[in-house]
């Protein structure tokens, strides 16, 4: 018999054998019996109800495939639906199967719906399933080692697909529901070799849409190739992230994503580079994970420009406080400052922003070094340019006790636009230095203001005090001295008092900044003062003392001359948003009376001196006979 004939006979026998096997398989395959058996086993093992409403089918060529449709699984009560899927198909190649290898052509699931619930007692709706697994294995039973001669896992799948999946997470304790309304996941070829410790995935794609309360989100990511070998993984990626929320002023944001990820499980390290764009902001991030557990990473974040105010909700009218409502209802409790997220942070890094706007403040060339550990976040070095000057300092936040520290030195700044952006008022003009070294603690913003402590100082040149005309106060002082009365006045933005130099320092305790060394100089005036700025209660009580040091022959020269040697006291008091200033008439008259008395004393001394001089002169003449 020729070799070709032998091969032909062998092939015919193989085909006949396959045909016989297929016939036997189809004859033995009873879909109804399989469905009944599965339903019974699920009921016995879990107490839940399994329903297979569609067909269960088997095909043998050109691939072995099992499919099922309209499958659902109940909750533990046997009534409410826990999970469901529209269809499932698993296909395995025939020829590799004959050689003892499993090569899946497709594993696909369509229309999977799953609901997870955290009940009010803290239990999950899957606790009965996981408890069954735990009971099946005694707590003291050790993991069995793989049997001798067992083959390492080898996997070769042409593709995975999860289409139109829906997941719901309902937290009844928090009263919040999060939904993934459309999730699609797919891959190209997936290969795994347990012996070599390798995994390769082609064209991984993930896209999802979902919601959490009123917020909506959408994300997609693509990884062209994942190569995992010897506990190392490296892959480029791209995708996008979209968020929308009624709480965001802009309504929604979209972030394109691109970068590279490298992971080394052996060393527990990872490296990530990410580039994205947020509106007009270009953002570049480099992240190096030095330890996966507990997580510690180092980062370098660069942003060319960022307007934080664009992404913050507008301030609510009257947010700073106020009276109870007209109906006598109590004020809404102040929102708590929750710093618990700091407890889990452990990192160090660098931040650089070319142009930044936050809470109205505008900075450029911002560079900062940050570190977080043990519930603390420290900005150990912070420099920037702002308002014609520079900033240099540090910040600190400690979750344990809600402690905040601020140390800043602002040099060469233009104070007027700084205050306009910061507090929306312009009480001062001038250029100079501001220093802050303060700390506070508290669970609310109001508590933080009342807990302020530390020091601050101010030194300005060639500026003005806006809203107050001290020359006008001098005219009022003259009227008081002639028997008139002083009247309180509100600050007037059109009025101001120029100065060549102004310096002051503040000691801060319990939210009150006390000053007693104010010194302001102008060509004709000197200003000193002392008083308190109650930051915690937004109040000022300050007594400024104005004195005339020079007069002029021009306008108001004569009036100023009449006030030389007299200190004019001006009281500034009231809430920050409704300040008033007035002459302290009693103090003025007292000082004027003292000045008159001193003047009379000087006169008497002068007269007494002259008389004494005359007498001595006469006696000397008689003594010398002249």
Instruction: Render pLDDT for 208-251 as a digit per residue (tens, 0 to 9).
Output: 999 988 888 999 999 998 888 878 888 899 999 888 877 777 78
Task: Say which residue, 424 or 23, is predicted with more confidence.
Answer: 424
Q: Are 115 and 93 in contact (CB under 8 A)?
A: no
Eight-state DSSP code of residue 552: -
- Predicted pLDDT of residue 140: 55
pLDDT band of 608, cuts 50, 70, 90: low
> What 3-state class would DSSP assign to 317?
coil
Structure tokens at 575: 């809430």
Distance CA 589, CA 597 (A): 12
> What 3-state class would DSSP assign to 372?
strand
Q: Is the pLDDT of residue 587 over 80?
A: no
Any idea which residue has 């205050």 for tokens? 419
Half-sphere exposure of 442 (CA within 13 A, CB side): 17
- Predicted pLDDT of residue 565: 56
Q: Are 428 and 463 in contact (CB under 8 A)?
A: yes
Question: For the ranges 16-25, 336-345, 515-524, which has the lowest average pLDDT?
Answer: 16-25
| Phi and psi based region of residue 609 (left: phi greater than 0; alpha: psi -120 to 50; beta: remaining) | alpha
273-308 residue pLDDT tens: 999 999 889 999 999 999 988 899 999 999 999 999
Task: Say which residue, 467 or 599, is predicted with more confidence.
Answer: 467
- Predicted pLDDT of residue 390: 97
pLDDT band of 570, cuts 50, 70, 90: confident
Task: Say which residue, 465 or 397, is predicted with more confidence.
Answer: 397
Q: Which percentage of the chain shows pLDDT scores above 70?
A: 72
The pairing of strands 453-466 and 113-118 is: unpaired
Which stretches within 361-408 are classed as H helix? none
Phi (first) and psi of residue 266, to 5 degrees: -60, -40
Which of 232, 280, 285, 297 lies closest to 257 in space, CA to CA? 285
> What 3-state class would DSSP assign to 604?
helix
The pairing of strands 496-509 and 453-466 is: antiparallel
Number of Cβ atoms within 10 Å of the Cβ of 339: 19
How would you class 37 by CB atoms within 10 Å of its CB: exposed for 0-12, middle for 13-18, buried for 19 or more?
exposed
- Predicted pLDDT of residue 519: 92
Q: Is the pLDDT of residue 547 over 70?
A: yes
Any idea which residue has 């009534």 for tokens? 79
pLDDT band of 488, cuts 50, 70, 90: low
Q: Specify the pTM.
A: 0.74
User: Does the CA dihedral 600-605-611-613 come out positive or negative?
Assistant: negative
Task: Say which residue, 200 or 326, is predicted with more confidence.
Answer: 200
Structure tokens at 239: 């995708």
User: Does the CA dihedral 493-499-501-507 come out positive or negative?
Assistant: negative
Q: Is the pLDDT of residue 138 over 60?
A: no
- Predicted pLDDT of residue 133: 52
With a CB cutoff of 8 Å and minimum separation 6, the contacts of 373 are: 345, 346
Q: Are 552 and 560 in contact (CB under 8 A)?
A: yes
Mean pLDDT of the chain: 79
Half-sphere exposure of 259 (CA within 13 A, CB side): 19
Question: For the ranges 100-114, 173-187, 475-489, 506-520, which has the lowest average pLDDT?
Answer: 475-489
Q: Is the pLDDT of residue 310 over 50?
A: yes
- Predicted pLDDT of residue 411: 97
| Phi and psi based region of residue 430 (left: phi greater than 0; alpha: psi -120 to 50; beta: remaining) | left
Which of 563, 573, 489, 490 lies closest to 539 in space, CA to CA? 573
What does R_g of the chain's alpha carbons equal in angstroms? 42
Where is 583: in which H helix or E strand? strand 580-583
- Mean pLDDT across 356-367: 94
- Predicted pLDDT of residue 441: 95
> What 3-state class would DSSP assign to 366?
strand
Question: For the ranges 30-39, 318-327, 333-342, 435-444, which has the lowest average pLDDT?
Answer: 318-327
Q: Is the pLDDT of residue 354 over 70?
A: yes
- Mean pLDDT across 36-59: 85
Which stretches within 66-175 are classed as H helix? 94-98, 127-136
Phi (first) and psi of residue 278, to 5 degrees: -115, 105
Which of 355, 356, 380 lies closest to 368 in space, CA to CA? 380
Q: Are 428 and 414 in contact (CB under 8 A)?
A: no
pLDDT band of 545, cuts 50, 70, 90: confident
pLDDT band of 531, cuts 50, 70, 90: very high
Structure tokens at 599: 């003047």
Q: Is the pLDDT of residue 617 over 70?
A: no
Q: Are 514 and 504 in contact (CB under 8 A)?
A: no
Q: Is the pLDDT of residue 194 over 90?
A: no
User: Cα dihedral angle (570, 574, 576, 578), rounded to 10 degrees?
Assistant: -100
Q: Is the pLDDT of residue 557 over 80?
A: no
Question: For the ranges 48-52, 373-377, 454-458, which has the lowest average pLDDT?
Answer: 48-52
- Predicted pLDDT of residue 590: 56
Distance CA 256, CA 209 (A): 16
Which stretches within 496-584 are classed as H helix? 557-562
pLDDT band of 11, cuts 50, 70, 90: very low
pLDDT band of 91, cuts 50, 70, 90: confident
Q: Are 526 and 481 in contact (CB under 8 A)?
A: no
Phi (first) and psi of residue 560, to 5 degrees: -65, -40
- Predicted pLDDT of residue 409: 96
Which residues are paired to 92 by β-bridges? 64, 104
Q: Is the pLDDT of residue 500 over 70?
A: yes
Any idea which residue has 């809203």 for tokens? 467
pLDDT band of 611, cuts 50, 70, 90: low
Instruction: Looking at mean pLDDT, say which of 35-44, 60-69, 432-441 comes out highest.
Output: 432-441
Q: Which percentage of the chain shows pLDDT scores above 90?
A: 38
- Predicted pLDDT of residue 286: 97
């Amino acid at each position: 018999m020729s070799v070709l004939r032998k091969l032909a006979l062998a092939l015919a026998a193989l085909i006949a054998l396959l045909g016989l096997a297929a016939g036997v398989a189809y004859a033995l395959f009873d879909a109804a019996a399989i469905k009944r058996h599965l339903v019974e086993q699920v009921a016995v093992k879990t107490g839940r109800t399994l329903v297979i409403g569609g067909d269960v089918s088997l095909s043998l060529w050109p691939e072995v495939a099992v499919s099922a449709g309209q499958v659902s699984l109940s909750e533990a009560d046997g009534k409410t639906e826990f999970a469901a899927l529209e269809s499932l198909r698993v296909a395995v190649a025939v020829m590799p199967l004959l050689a003892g290898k499993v090569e899946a052509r497709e594993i696909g699931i369509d229309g999977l719906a799953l609901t997870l619930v955290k009940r009010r007692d803290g239990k999950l709706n899957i606790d009965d399933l996981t408890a069954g697994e735990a009971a099946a294995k005694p707590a003291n039973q050790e993991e069995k080692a793989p049997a001798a001669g067992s083959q390492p896992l080898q996997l070769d799948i042409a593709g995975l697909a999860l289409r139109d999946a829906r997941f719901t997470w309902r937290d009844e304790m928090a009263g919040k529901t999060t939904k993934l309304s459309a999730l699609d996941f797919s891959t190209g070829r997936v290969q795994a070799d347990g012996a070599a410790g390798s995994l390769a995935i082609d064209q991984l794609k993930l896209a999802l849409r979902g919601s959490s309360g009123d917020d909506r989100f959408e994300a997609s990511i693509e990884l062209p190739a994942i190569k995992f070998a010897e506990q190392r993984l490296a892959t480029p990626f791209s995708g996008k992230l979209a968020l929308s929320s009624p709480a965001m002023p802009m309504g929604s944001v979209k972030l394109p994503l691109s970068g590279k990820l490298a992971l080394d499980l052996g060393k527990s390290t990872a490296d990530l580079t990410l580039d994205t764009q947020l509106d007009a902001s270009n953002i570049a991030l480099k992240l190096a994970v030095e330890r996966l557990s507990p997580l510690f990473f180092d980062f370098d974040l660069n942003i060319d420009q960022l307007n934080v105010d664009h992404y913050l909700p507008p301030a609510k009218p009257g947010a700073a406080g106020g009276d109870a409502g007209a109906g006598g209802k109590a004020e809404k409790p102040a929102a708590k400052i929750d710093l618990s997220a700091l407890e889990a942070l452990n990192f160090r890094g660098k931040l650089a922003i070319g142009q930044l706007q936050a809470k109205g403040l505008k900075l450029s060339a911002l560079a900062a070094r940050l570190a977080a550990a043990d519930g603390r976040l420290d900005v150990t070095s912070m420099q920037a340019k702002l308002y014609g000057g520079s900033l240099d300092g540090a910040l600190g936040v400690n979750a344990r006790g809600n402690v905040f520290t601020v140390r800043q030195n602002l040099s060469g700044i233009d104070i007027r636009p700084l205050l306009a952006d910061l507090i929306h008022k312009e009480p001062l003009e001038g250029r100079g230095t501001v220093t802050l070294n303060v700390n506070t603690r508290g669970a609310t913003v109001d508590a933080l203001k009342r807990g302020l402590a530390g020091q601050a100082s101010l030194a300005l040149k060639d500026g003005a005090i806006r809203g107050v005309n001290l020359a006008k106060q001098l005219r009022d002082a003259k009227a008081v001295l002639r028997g008139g009365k002083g009247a309180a006045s509100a600050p007037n933005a059109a009025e101001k008092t120029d100065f060549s130099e102004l310096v002051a320092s503040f000691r801060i305790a319990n939210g009150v900044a006390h000053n007693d060394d104010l010194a302001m100089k102008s060509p004709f005036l000197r200003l000193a003062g002392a008083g308190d700025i109650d930051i915690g209660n937004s109040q000022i009580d300050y007594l400024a003392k104005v004195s005339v040091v020079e007069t002029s022959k021009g306008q108001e020269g004569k009036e100023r001359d009449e006030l030389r040697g007299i200190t004019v006291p001006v009281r500034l008091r009231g809430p920050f948003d409704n300040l008033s200033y007035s002459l302290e008439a009693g103090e003025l008259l007292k000082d004027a009376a003292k000045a008159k008395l001193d003047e009379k004393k000087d006169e008497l001394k002068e007269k007494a001196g002259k008389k004494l001089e005359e007498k001595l002169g006469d006696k000397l003449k008689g003594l010398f006979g002249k």
